Amino acid sequence: FTDDTYPVMAWHPNGKILTFINEEKADLLLYFYRTGDKTTEERNLLYFDKILDFSYSSEGTRLVLSAVKDGTTDIYIHTIASGTNEQITRDIADDLHPSFLRESPEEIVFSSNRLSDTLTNTGSPFEKLSPTFDLFTYNLNKRNNNLIRLSEGRFTDRLQATGIAKNKRSQSQYL
């Protein structure tokens, strides 16, 4: 059967590189298509079973991924130069649609059906999940287990955020 969820694509912040991830012969491949010289660079993207979504950091050196590994959907930071991955979440909750915040490049926002705003990183299959998705941020500089819940939807899902700007009190605003 055909997997219509691939390719997954995002533009580099400079607007000159289209990056896409595709599954080919059971391998995940990361492609960088440079529009100026019309060349494509290909890299193996090891470790993951599936990539659901990704986006670039504002400086263009890292990707934040929503990826499936061993049956769970978690958030990872992929450093492009070294090809390394850092796992941010490790639990049964579905973590989707990650994005770096434009005005705060060391923070990521994502949607999740988790109940707690504390990362347990246990991977316990007995964790309870919410029937709806809320938005959360995580600060990469702090490297702690605390998330900030941006929305709480009892009856509606908040599936994807877009960081738009910082207000006068240096707080991020979201759509």
pLDDT in tens, 113-172: 999 898 987 767 778 888 889 999 999 999 899 999 987 655 455 566 655 445 544 454
Annotate the chain with DSSP letters as a single string.
---TT--EEEE-TTSSEEEEEEEETTEEEEEEEETTTTEEEEEE--S-SEEEEEEE-TTSSEEEEEEEETTEEEEEEEETTTTEEEE---SSS-EEEEEE-SS-TTEEEEEEEES-SB------TT--EEEEEEEEEEETTT-SSB-EE----SSS------EEEE-TTS-EEE-
- Average pLDDT of every residue of the chain: 87
- Please state the pTM of the whole predicted model: 0.86
Q: Give dist(CA 75, CA 111) in Å, integer.
A: 10
Residues 33-50: pLDDT tens digits? Answer: 999 999 999 999 999 999
Is the sign of the CA dihedral 47, 107, 110, 128 positive or negative?
Answer: positive
Confidence tier at 2 by pLDDT (50, 70, 90): low
**Percent of the chain scoring above 90 in pLDDT:** 66
pLDDT of 17 > 90? The answer is yes
